[in-house]
Structure 1
Amino acid sequence: MHHRIFSSALYGILTILILVIVASLISSTLLKFTTLQESSFTWILLGFSFLAVFIGGFISGGRSGQKGWIAGGTTAILYSLVIFLVQFLGYNQGFDGEQLLIHTGYVLIAIVGGILGVNVRGESF
């Protein structure tokens, strides 16, 4: 069972990373070729991040088929760990209070996504 949850979490993380990369490419293109400023994207990107983590938790829960809250939570914790490692090792910065709140929100929203993913699981997973 633990193997199934971990492999499901990896699918969830992959989903999140793909969505975040696509959002980054779109926002970078918009910033480059329009008069939009980065400050106008902050809340949009934060909202999209939460949506991506929810979808990742949903995929993870659906793939696990059981205990979606654990699969979703594991997905968000592993995703937060990846973000922390990149930030710490790449930029020599830890999480501040605001980031801890955001990543706690990620865990909670991924848990909800995982629960819903198990409950609407179909043959498409």
Structure 2
Amino acid sequence: MNSVKQIVRPPRIASPLIAGVIYSIIWLALGALLLSLLLYFSGMKENNLPQSALAIHGFSALAGGFVSGKRSGMKGWYYGAMLGLIYGITVLTIGFLAANSGLSLSSALMLLAAMLAGAFGGMVGVNLKK
């Protein structure tokens, strides 16, 4: 008799970049929720939000780059950096459309941090493929 796991397989995302973007958005949502809870329940000040948001963006890009590199199996830095670029442009576009925020030095810094963190995550992901 066949088990349900053998009959119904969960869908697998074929593209490493799309899988990485999905994972990075999930980590972004969890980080934003954690940051909101810390802001509400602790003595954290709103002045610390830009640094905390940059750290969350960096970690999200790192996690997405890790997934992209692991799924690609090669050129982890390339897939991770492309993931960071896509992630950063997506976040900046959403910020522009939702909050009418323009481009600034902090948005360029976030884009650079996302690309570097994604590239590092991709390199680690490729090397942990074994």
Q: 1:106 to 1:44 in 2, by over 3 A?
A: same
Q: Could you tell me which residue of structure 1 aligns to residue 21 of structure 2? A: 13
2 CA distance for matches of 1:49 and 1:96?
16
Match of 1:35 among 26, 43, 46: 43
Match of 1:52 among 23, 47, 60: 60
2 CA distance for matches of 1:27 and 1:120?
30
Structure ID, larger Rg: 2
TM-score normalised to structure 1 length: 0.81
CA deviation after TM superposition for structure 1 residue 41, in Å: 4.1
Deviations 1:8-38 (A, max 9, x none): 1111111111111111112212222333222
Q: Relative contact order (alpha carbons < 8 A, sep ≥ 6): 1 or 2 greater? A: 1
Give the total of aligned pairs.
117
What root-mean-square deviation, in Å, do the aligned CA atoms of Structure 1 and Structure 2 show?
1.9
8 Å contact 2:65–2:81 — kept in the other structure?
Answer: yes
Q: 1:87 to 1:42 in 2, by over 3 A?
A: closer
> Is 1:75 aligned with 2:75?
no
Deviations 1:47-106 (A, max 9, x none): 232122112111110101111122111111111121122122223332212211221121
Match of 2:124 among 105, 116, 119: 116
The percent identity for this pair of structures is 29
Gaps of 5+ in 1: 1-5
Runs of 4+, deviation exceeding 6 Å: none
Gaps of 5+ in 2: 1-13
